């Protein structure tokens, strides 16, 4: 089992079911996870949903049990938009695309055993569930100073007042 003292190993592109960079999408692991979900139709499941807005990305873990009513093909998958080729049907009337889910488990909503994992977007889980939190007193002071400088018209270096992203995302891209 995973907990905050023992986070899962780092995600590589080879073991991420949703990774699509330079390879077939979805991955073989995604297909295996879809088959596990098909076998779990009718069971009680727990979701960790990806909650995204225009300004932030986070997760929502409610601990609320749902009954998995089915798994259907999604007609317009798009890896760039995070839309997977399948969606799940829940007993609350919703259909949720697997691209909007970080984890689906049975038995335990929090800290599930590996055998209870039915689906896991490992990259989203690693980036959103297990990432070290960076909101510290030093960061708040640094950000406040940068904002005050902006208000007073004193320029500050933009990199000083930013939270760093996952490894590899903070470096300048060749695509830009």
Entry pTM: 0.59
The end-to-end CA distance of the chain, in Å, is 40
pLDDT tens by residue, 105-153: 998 888 889 999 999 887 766 666 555 666 678 878 888 888 888 888 8
pLDDT tens by residue, 50-109: 887 777 777 888 899 999 999 998 888 877 777 888 999 999 999 999 888 989 999 888
CB within 8 A of 147, min separation 6: which ones?
161
Please report the pLDDT score of residue 134 as a whole number: 65
Domain residue ranges in the chain: 13-129, 135-176
Please report the pLDDT score of residue 75 as a whole number: 81
């Amino acid at each position: 089992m995973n907990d905050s003292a023992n986070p899962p190993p780092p995600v590589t592109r080879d073991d991420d079911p949703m990774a699509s960079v330079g390879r077939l999408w979805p991955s073989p692991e995604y297909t295996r996870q879809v088959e596990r979900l098909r076998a779990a139709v009718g069971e009680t499941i727990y979701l960790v949903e990806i909650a995204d807005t225009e300004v932030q990305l986070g997760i929502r873990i409610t601990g609320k049990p749902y009954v998995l009513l089915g798994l259907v093909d999604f007609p317009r998958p798009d890896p760039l938009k995070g839309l997977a080729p399948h969606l799940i049907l829940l007993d609350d009337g919703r259909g949720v695309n697997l691209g909007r889910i970080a984890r689906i488990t049975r038995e335990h909503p929090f800290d599930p055993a590996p055998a209870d994992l039915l689906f896991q977007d490992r990259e989203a889980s690693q980036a959103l569930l297990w990432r070290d939190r960076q909101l510290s007193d030093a960061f708040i002071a640094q950000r406040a100073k940068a904002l005050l400088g902006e208000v007073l018209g004193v320029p500050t270096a933009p990199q000083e007042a930013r939270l760093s992203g996952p490894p590899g995302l903070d470096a300048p891209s060749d695509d830009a």
